[in-house]
Structures are given as structure tokens and as C-alpha cells.
Amino acid sequence: MDELMCQSLAHACILAIASEPCLHPGEHLKDRLKPSCSVEEGKVADGAFGTWLARGAELVVLGRYGDSTIVYLPSQDMFYYASPCCLLSASCPDKTALLGQFVVDNDSTPRVLVYDLLRLQGASCGDMPVRERYACLQQLGSHLGSACTLQWVGEVSVLLRELRSGKFVLPHAIKGVMSLSSIPGRITLVREKRE
């Protein structure tokens, strides 16, 4: 059943933000992301930076290459040209790739929550501290298409506290809180210890 749901969300993602497959070779092939997730229970490292992971989210990479915006779906290992709602603006730096999650909100609105930076003007952002990557990403927020939103990223301990208190309410179900690492796409899903 989970595999069927995954395929359905991937299909919804393709229909919402992609057009035809991108089958030609090019710079975008360098941004073939292999995400990894570990699960950690208990206390989070002081100052850990992260955000939430939506339940059933489909990870996506949006990249600007020349005059094109290309969408990569790691779960399908497939590249697509972006649909108009997901185009990065013409003034977005060339060879820039952003990482996000495709979600469908409770009101059935599809969107991409962009939370990390993989490549900036052709330079890898691997091993760049998370706070610096997010600061660079915030400067690129104005280049996002209408279906894309810059996702909040901050201290994991603050987000956990706000979620527990009920003050922070999201328009979609969440799987948990993810702590980002110095390597884009490598996350730790934080689970609170049960007493």
C-alpha cells in the first residue's frame, strides 16, 4: 500500500509541477541527488538547524540551466522540464539547484516547499554550513515560481517546542522534524523520546 501511495504522490507531483521529460544530457545531470535519512531518538544537538518533513512528501530538485527550469524527482530518478507554475525566474543565477518537498495541503493545494540549496552558480553547496546555505537560499526566494514557497528553516529545538505547544499549525500533516546536515539532502528525522 505504501508503494502505491508513493507512486500516486509522485504522479501528482509530475502532473502539478512538471511538463515533458528532459531526456537530453547536460549540466543538470550533476544535480542527481541521492537523499538519505537517518532517524535519531532523543535530544537534538544544540543549535541544530532544520525544518519539518511533510507526511508523504515527494522530494524535488528545481534547477535553472540556461533558459530552462528542470525538475528532478529522486524517487523516480527522472528529470522533467518545469511547468509554468514552477519556473525559476529568468534572473535566477544559471546552474543553481534548490531542494524542496512537494506536498498537497489539506485544501488540496499542491506546492513545493523549498528548504535547501544544492548548487549556486555551478558551485556545490556540499559542506557549506546549513545556516549559510539557508541565508543564500533566502536571497533566491524572489526567483521561485507561483507553486513554490520558501520553507521556514531554523533551530530544531524551537520548532519542536512550537509544534508541541500547538502554536505552530501547518496546512498539511507532518511526518516529523528533520535536522539538516552539512551535505544537502542528508537529513536526520528527529523523534522525541517516549517516557
- The pLDDT mean for the chain works out to 87
Query: Domain holding 47: CATH number?
Result: 3.30.470.30
d(CA 117, CA 131): 11
Domain holding 121, by residue range, is 2-191
CA atoms within 13 A of residue 9's CA, in its CB half-sphere: 22
State how many domains the chain has: 1
Query: Among 38-42, 75-79, 117-121, 139-143, which stretch is predicted with the lowest mean pLDDT?
Result: 38-42
CA dihedral (103, 117, 3, 52) in degrees, to 10, reads: -50
Per-residue pLDDT tens digits for 64-94: 999 999 999 998 899 999 999 999 999 999 9
Distance, in Å, from the CA atom of 138 to the CA atom of 146, rounded to the nearest integer, reads 16
Q: Model's pTM, two decimal places?
A: 0.89
pLDDT band with cut points at 50, 70 and 90 for residue 194: very low
Q: Is residue 187 classed exposed, middle or buried when 0-12, 13-18 and 19+ CB atoms within 10 A define those classes?
A: buried
DSSP class per residue in 16-69: HHEEEE--S-SGGGGG----EEEEEESPPPTT-EEEEEETT-EEEEEEEETTEE
- Nearest Cα to Cα of residue 102 among 131, 126, 72: 72
